Amino acid sequence: MPACLCVVRHGETDWNARGILQGWLDVPINDLGREQARQLAGSYAPFGFAAVWASPLVRASETADIIVAALGLPPTSLHDGLKERNFGAQQGVPKARLAEQNPMLLRQIVGRDPAACFDGGESMNAFADRVLAAVREIGARHGGQRVLVVVHGWVMDVVTRHVGGRARDAILGHKRKNGESIWLDVDGEIIAEGHRP
């Protein structure tokens, strides 16, 4: 029986608000991000999640932990495969500075173009492979259960392309907001768009 995964983007950080690229840098959620997590917990109460998984980066794990505490769920499990894309030398760079230094890269980032190349960062294929492997692994562990998975914006992009049957290099043109979710049915190797219960 397939697992039903609710994949949600973490709460807001100060760097989200200020337009600074985070990647693998560990930036905590801010007051608004904590409030977003509490609101998510309230909206998720009826779904009866059996488990919560998150990226080990603090903005995702803290969001998950707030939801876990509010709903009385088992402790959050962490999975490295759910981490944000490694943005290499561009991590910690404000988008305003990037607009001056590399306007083409900024356009790619804003347009959610997977062709964006980051100096010393992760390739799109390596990133997508690890994200989809993590989603499949979590699905395999939780067949027939509902599971909450707290991740990052570019992780959401990989999942969106995959379930929509789009190529890995398809440009999405928009990003998921903090706290926005997508529901998946995961059955073995198959990851399909699911429906909110």
153 Cβ contact list (under 8 Å, min separation 6):
9, 84, 175, 176
84 tagged catalytic = yes
Per the residue annotation, which of 12, 62, 79, 84 is the catalytic one? 84
10 tagged catalytic = yes
Per the residue annotation, which of 10, 79, 142, 162 is the catalytic one? 10
DSSP letters spanning 132-168: HHHHHHHHHHTTTSEEEEEE-HHHHHHHHHHHTT--T
What tens-digit pLDDT sequence spans the chain (197 residues)? Answer: 999 999 999 999 999 999 999 999 999 999 999 999 999 999 999 999 999 999 999 999 999 999 999 999 999 999 999 999 999 999 999 999 999 999 999 999 988 898 899 999 999 999 999 999 999 999 999 999 999 999 999 999 999 999 999 998 888 878 899 999 999 999 988 999 998 88
User: Bridge-partner residues for 25, per DSSP?
Assistant: none
Which domains, and CATH codes, for the chain? 9-51+64-177 (3.40.50.1240)
Query: What's the pLDDT tens digit per position in 36-48?
Result: 999 999 999 999 9
Q: What is the pTM assigned to this prediction?
A: 0.95
